[in-house]
Amino acid sequence: MASATMNKSTSQTSFADSTKLDRSELDSGYTSAQSDYSPSSSTSSLPLVSLAKPHIAHLNDQLENMHPMDILRFCKIMFPNLYQSTAFGLTGLVTMDMLSKIQKENPESRTVDLIFLDTLYHFKETYELVDRVRERYPNVPVHIFKPDGAETTEQLEDLYGKELYNTSTELYDWIVKVEPLQRAYDELKVSAVLNGRRRSQGAARGSIPIIEVDEERGIVKINPLATWSFKQVNDYIKENNVPYNALLDRGYKSVGDWHSTSPVKEGEDERAGRWKGQQKTECGIHNSKSRYAQFAAANPLKKADVVKSGEEKQQQEQTRSSEPELKKQKVEEQPKVVEAMSAKVIEEQQQQQQQQETSQTTLANPSAVVELMA
């Protein structure tokens, strides 16, 4: 297979047979897929794709004004082992439908498989959408990756405690998104991946190129609908009768995990409903991999520490949750205490009154005093 490399001294892009490429040639350009030159691989295979910075800039210039369908046609030819990573948002669904049409143009070409990260905290509407997508596009394989060692929410919480998404958001992102995606890249030998990011979504996405390289992960990332607006995406969905998440009819525009997604108000940004009230705009898969280095280096002992920490937090939560019950118990017992105290006071008053009456009787009857003295 031919690979593109850049000569440092001449800044020229040349093509050579992959078997003749050496380390210095590869270091001069961007590489994709796993190789012994990428950070997370120990294999000796050469990268499937190697792009120089000037070449990437050139490609982005050419693709900028192209229709997404044409961008996808180009990517299917340009990048081997091309996959689509999706959470079945609107942009991902549009990409999926466009790819299905392109596939019909050349049925013998390789399909672009889907990668879905099941965090175990998706809305039930999202899981229902996955089933509808499979029915609509039966020839498109869906590769589902879950958190390592957990098939259910209960199993995940047994490992790391409840509400990890609140107690340690960075660790949560690593466990349910970052690590599973890296595992998908490794197992499927992904060289390039299609994403659903658009510039109109704002924040860090406001200036994304159509083609970019994640050097840490050794992956070429493509944003085929980067130039489209929410309206363009939504119109395509309706015009082409593409299945979509039922939550979009209830005020949602961007759907993630149920615990961190809410509807957006009129005039709010498309992703305003994600992590509302937090300084967070991404789930982790589009952040730098080095940001999660501490978790990547974690061993079973550290996992045990996390479990212990989770157990301690649960105990604290149980203590806090029992406080209202204790207060309620005290309130319920208070009338009984008051009643008992009142009865005792009444009894003491009666005794005092009897003593006073006895004293008065004795003083009024001298013979009684003599009798007592006797």
- Looking at the annotation, which residues are catalytic? 283
Angle, helices 153-160 vs 300-364, to 10°: value is 80
* Separation CA 97–CA 332 (nearest Å): 63
Token representation of residue 9: 């001294």
Which amino acid is it at 256? G
Q: What are phi and psi of 169, to 5 degrees?
A: -65, -35
| Spatial separation of the C-alpha atoms in residues 80 and 49, rounded to whole Å | 8
Would you give the end-to-end CA distance of the chain in angstroms?
131
User: What 3-state DSSP class applies to 85?
Assistant: strand
132 SS3 class: helix
Region of 202 on the Ramachandran plot (φ > 0 left; ψ -120 to 50 alpha; else beta): left
C-alpha 200/C-alpha 271 separation (Å) is 10
Asked if 219 and 213 count as a contact pair (C-beta separation under 8 A), the reply is yes
Contacts of 367 (CB under 8 A, 6+ apart): none
